[in-house]
Structure 1
């Protein structure tokens, strides 16, 4: 089901980019460093989140762009009751819409998947609403909430949904 949702989001995005009128703006790429603070249940097992990402933006209307991003994120495990929790690493791939409210200030929403990098890891449904400011000259800073919903199995035939959540910041350089 998650793969179908991701495919649908990508198809809608590609449709928008194919049929949208040109706004005169150019496509942009950005490379960013990311850091986050785990929140909710994730804060009980992880100290911090670090990573990086690449993002592509394609204008689809005045002040609006379709985005595609991919990256690498690591939830760094913390020691709980003398036991070191292992880190959890994933490759998040997301598509979204970015809207500029003013020349620099924007809001963005993204949906996608976070693909675990370790053997036996599951694919999580990823969602990330956020805000940011484009300072011009290629510097952009964003702040977002990001959640990864993962279905787990307790080994007794019962499935459960767990969400790894974070408040994250991204410092990016665009070109």
Structure 2
């Protein structure tokens, strides 16, 4: 089985476990009340991110900015959609890739304010002759007072017909964002 298939299957299994498990807390205090609303809320997050690649990768580091829409279905599960700009910098300035990522995913909050997230989507290349990448992510984060800090692994699968071809690779990234409630 391919690695991407294993990662995708593991992510789906984790989501299924977290969304079907009944979690019980001790008692709710007055500071917990805003978190325990009925859910069904919308947030818009504006963030920046930076990441590094493994030694075997032809890429060195990445940076970008994004806008993420979050629809809280319940206090424990949210659906996300994001888009933005990402720049992947190659080692020795041999390969530089600019693309617009468009992803959709799920956030699960197993512990108050802490989340596990997974997303999948496409990276639309900006350069002529470059092909669209498949992007998949998995990570965890923490939301507090409107701020959102998260770490993730973001993998890229590139089309071999692309003029900017690079082997399947991925970055370990940090995202800092601020969420606005709508």
TM over 0.5: yes
Structure 1 distance, partners of 2:162, 2:101, is: 25
Report how many aligned residue pairs link the two structures.
143
Could you tell me whether the CA contact under 8 Å between 2:118 and 2:138 is conserved in 1? yes
Residue 140 (structure 1) aligns with: 148
Residue 52 (structure 2) aligns with: 37
Residue 8 (structure 1) aligns with: none
- Cα deviation, 1:51-97, whole Å, max 9, x if unaligned, reads 01100000223410000000111111221xxxx31311111110000
**4+ aligned runs moved over 6 Å, structure 1:** none
Residue 173 (structure 2) aligns with: 168
- Cα deviation, 1:33-65, whole Å, max 9, x if unaligned, reads 1000012642xx322101011000002234100
1:169 CA drift (Å): 0.7
Structure 1 distance, partners of 2:162, 2:106, is: 36
Structure 2 distance, partners of 1:90, 1:154, is: 13
Secondary structure of residue in 2 paired with 1:121: coil
1:131 CA drift (Å): 0.3
Residue 101 (structure 1) aligns with: 110
Q: Normalised by the size of structure 2, how large is the TM-score?
A: 0.72
Structure 2 distance, partners of 1:123, 1:40, is: 24
Q: Normalised by the size of structure 1, how large is the TM-score?
A: 0.75
- Higher share of residues assigned strand: 1
Gaps of 5+ in 2: 1-36
Could you tell me whether the CA contact under 8 Å between 2:87 and 2:99 is conserved in 1? yes
Residues 1-175 of structure 1 mapped to structure 2, 5 A cutoff: 23-39=38-54, 41-42=56-57, 45-79=58-92, 84-135=93-144, 137-153=145-161, 162-175=167-180
Secondary structure of residue in 1 paired with 2:38: coil
